[in-house]
């Protein structure tokens, strides 16, 4: 992409791109290039040992390759947008990214993140917030507005919008996909998060929404 004014050359940027298809289905889960694919990932803050948040670009590649060595294929940017070097590395390494906004209700930050990062094929889901950062003056309405903003800015890539906030779960969720933080919850409560009362009585194995488990320790 070249920026010019009249005959004057001002700047240019090269934007690598990739081709892939994704979809999220309640019955079979996440589908990548036509194949059902389990996302086995980790939530990662932007800092790194000895360098803090000033992470050199080559360490982003190193981090992803180490995660892949123990079977990870997913990377959650906890709990804010990470730098572009991480996303370029994820594109090249075939890692699926859950791209997270910092706080519910921050339209400007969500817009900046999506406009900067929407050309990265590694991103497969947008998240508007995490846990307490989802609190706002009007939680549900703010979440609906950010979801609509994401769909308007990124209409063609098939990416759903969600948030790691258990109060959004259930049939009335404002999100496209349920992100369940299952810390010590019972199987019954977990099931109620994704099913209506009628579905529980009729068929205990039919989910009503697409779901991603974002914290799985302590499920009983």
Per-residue pLDDT tens over the stretch 123-145: 999 999 998 999 998 999 999 99
Q: Residue 194 pLDDT > 90, yes or no? A: no
Residue-level pLDDT at 28 = 84
pLDDT of residue 184: 47
Phi-psi region at 217: left, alpha or beta (left = phi > 0; alpha = psi -120 to 50) = beta
Residue 15 vs residue 44, higher pLDDT = 44
For 42-96, how does the pLDDT look when each residue is reduced to its tens digit (9 = 90+)? 999 999 999 999 999 999 999 999 999 999 999 999 999 999 999 999 999 999 9
220 inside domain: no
Who has greater pLDDT, 202 or 116? 116
pLDDT on residue 209: 59
Model pLDDT for residues 149-191, shown as the tens digit of each residue = 999 999 988 899 999 887 776 556 788 886 655 554 444 554 4
* Number of folded domains that form the chain: 1
DSSP string, 6-54: TTEEEEE---------EEEETTTEEEETTEE----EEEE-S-BTTTBT-
Looking up residue 187, the CATH number of its domain turns out to be 3.20.20.80
Contact between 106 and 132 (Cβ < 8 Å): no
15 found inside a domain: yes
pTM comes to 0.82
Q: Does residue 9 lie within any of the structural domains?
A: yes
Q: Which domain, by its residues, includes 149?
A: 2-215
Burial class, 69, CB count within 10 angstroms (exposed 0-12 / middle 13-18 / buried 19+): exposed
In-domain check, residue 157: yes
The b/e string for 158-168 (b: 16+ C-beta within 10 A; e otherwise) is ebbbbbbbbeb
């Amino acid at each position: 992409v070249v920026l010019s004014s009249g005959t004057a050359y001002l700047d240019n940027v090269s934007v690598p791109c990739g081709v892939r298809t994704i979809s999220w289905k309640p019955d079979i889960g996440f589908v990548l290039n036509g194949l059902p694919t389990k996302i086995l990932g980790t939530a990662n803050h932007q800092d790194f040992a000895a360098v803090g948040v000033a992470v050199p670009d080559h360490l982003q590649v190193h981090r992803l390759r180490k995660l892949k060595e123990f079977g990870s294929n997913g990377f959650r940017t906890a709990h804010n947008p990470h730098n572009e070097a991480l996303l370029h590395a994820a594109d090249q390494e075939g890692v699926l990214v859950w791209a997270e906004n910092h706080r519910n209700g921050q339209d400007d930050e969500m817009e900046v993140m999506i406009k900067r990062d929407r050309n990265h094929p590694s991103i497969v889901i947008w998240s508007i917030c995490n846990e307490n950062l989802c609190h706002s003056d009007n939680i549900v309405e703010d979440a609906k507005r950010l979801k609509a903003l994401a769909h308007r800015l990124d209409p063609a890539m098939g990416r759903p919008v969600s948030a790691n906030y258990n109060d959004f779960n259930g049939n009335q969720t404002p999100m496209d996909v349920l992100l369940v933080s299952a810390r010590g919850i019972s199987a019954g409560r977990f099931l109620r998060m994704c099913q209506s009362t009628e579905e529980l009585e009729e068929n205990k194995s039919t989910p009503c929404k697409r779901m991603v488990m974002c914290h799985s320790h302590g499920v009983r």
